[in-house]
Structure 1
Amino acid sequence: MFQKGDKVAYPHHGAGIIEAIKEKRVFSEKKKYYVLKFTEGQLMISIPIDNCDELGLRSIINKRQASKVLKVLSDKSKKEIIDYTERFKINSDKLSTGNIHSVAEVLRDLNTGEKISTREKRQFSKAKKILISELVYIYKKTEEEMDKKVDKMLN
């Protein structure tokens, strides 16, 4: 179980902090919720504690793990050529897992230097936002600094 102040990662929004643990009544049943505040803007969401594992809530990674994730970005190994529809689905599945290594793979694989579709540009932006939000907490840097570091690793 997480505590107030813990830094966590949530698949669809990136990294945030548990601001509170609150009890809410839903359909005459009391449930406990984590209240998460994310690095980007003023976004706050509540996640039922009972379902947090199913929803992919996890602790943020450590520096050693982050170093491995950043190496994924610079791995220029030959990628299998697949069509847009299949590639989009594969990347969507990777983003929804909450696995930060998979998020880094999406960034790397979409950073081909070739033209990509508007939908893939959105995927790229989402993956980058999720990765940077976690790196900000790990390295105690600003979003701008981590954005530059990610760009450097990609190129």
Structure 2
Amino acid sequence: MTNAKKTAQRQGFKTGESIVYPAHGVGQIVAIEEQEVAGYKLELFVISFEKDKMTLRVPTAKAATVGMRKLAETPLVDKALETLTGRARVKRTMWSRRAQEYEAKINSGDLIAIAEVVRDLYRSDAQPEQSYSERQLYEAAIDRIVREISAVNQITETESMKLIDEALAKSPRRGPKNAQADAEVEAETETETDEEEIREEAA
């Protein structure tokens, strides 16, 4: 049997469809291939991540196990944007632990969890600058949410970013007064972790 037809469908996914792969975000199924591995025929989704210039092959039978999912429905996108308008919840734990939690949320592929990371790490002009590691996580989360909203609403990434900015602007902690309170929480948690970050980077 040759490679599957252009519009083949497997496990509820079809060629040409945009999907979300937890570790990489929004991609597109460009083909469904068959390969022979150790005498067994294996059927694979060929997923292209155009922006990252990357192609991934995922066994069709494992799509659910790896957490591959369809794009969010519009109500979920609305809920994610609503999440961005909420108050940031910054735990009083060491930064390295929080960073691990943020990373796990980003790689979960869960749109609401990713929105929570964006909300918690967002800094307005009136607030203290983000540290390098905070900014990296923030940008990774923003990238994921921008791409998915763009794909779901069929709008450009610039328009998608505008929606996110508007939602963040509605958040209750954007004034200088709240920024001061946030800075104090950060100061308490960052003091013990700066040394740790330096050690990690030097290692």
**TM-score above 0.5, yes or no:** yes
1:133 aligned onto 2:147: yes
Instruction: Name 2:157's counterpart in structure 1.
Output: 143
What is the Cα deviation at residue 25 of structure 1? 2.1
Aligned residues, how many? 155
Alignment partners' CA distance in 2, 1:23 and 1:80: 47
Alignment of 1:50-61 (within 5 A): 50-61=61-72
**SS of aligned partner of 1:34:** strand
Instruction: Name 1:65's counterpart in structure 2.
Output: 76
Q: Evaluate the alpha carbon distance shift between residue 5 and residue 153 of structure 1 in structure 2; reply closer, same or farther with a 3 A threshold.
A: same
What is the Cα deviation at residue 41 of structure 1? 4.7
> Which residue of the other structure, out of 48, 52, 57, is the alignment partner of 1:46?
57
Percent of aligned pairs with the same residue?
A: 26
Alignment of 1:1-150 (within 5 A): 1=11, 2-76=13-87, 78-112=89-123, 113-150=127-164
What is the Cα deviation at residue 84 of structure 1? 0.6
Alignment partners' CA distance in 1, 2:105 and 2:122: 16
Do 1:103 and 1:127's aligned partners in 2 also have CA atoms closer than 8 Å? yes
| Residue type at the aligned position of 1:115 | E
The TM-score, its normalising length taken from structure 2, stands at 0.70
Alignment partners' CA distance in 1, 2:50 and 2:73: 18
The TM-score, its normalising length taken from structure 1, stands at 0.90
What are the Cα deviations for residues 57-98 of structure 1, in whole angstroms up to 9, with x where unaligned?
Answer: 001111111100111111125543332111101111111211
Which blocks of at least 5 consecutive residues in structure 1 are unaligned?
Answer: none
1:154 aligned onto 2:168: yes
What are the Cα deviations for residues 121-146 of structure 1, in whole angstroms up to 9, with x where unaligned?
Answer: 11111111111111111111111111
**SS of aligned partner of 2:64:** coil
Alignment partners' CA distance in 1, 2:38 and 2:135: 40
Larger radius of gyration: 2
Once the two structures are overlaid, the 10-residue window that deviates more, 84-93 or 31-40, is 31-40
**SS of aligned partner of 1:8:** strand
CA RMSD across the alignment? 1.7
Alignment partners' CA distance in 1, 2:141 and 2:56: 20
Q: Evaluate the alpha carbon distance shift between residue 154 and residue 27 of structure 1 in structure 2; reply closer, same or farther with a 3 A threshold.
A: farther
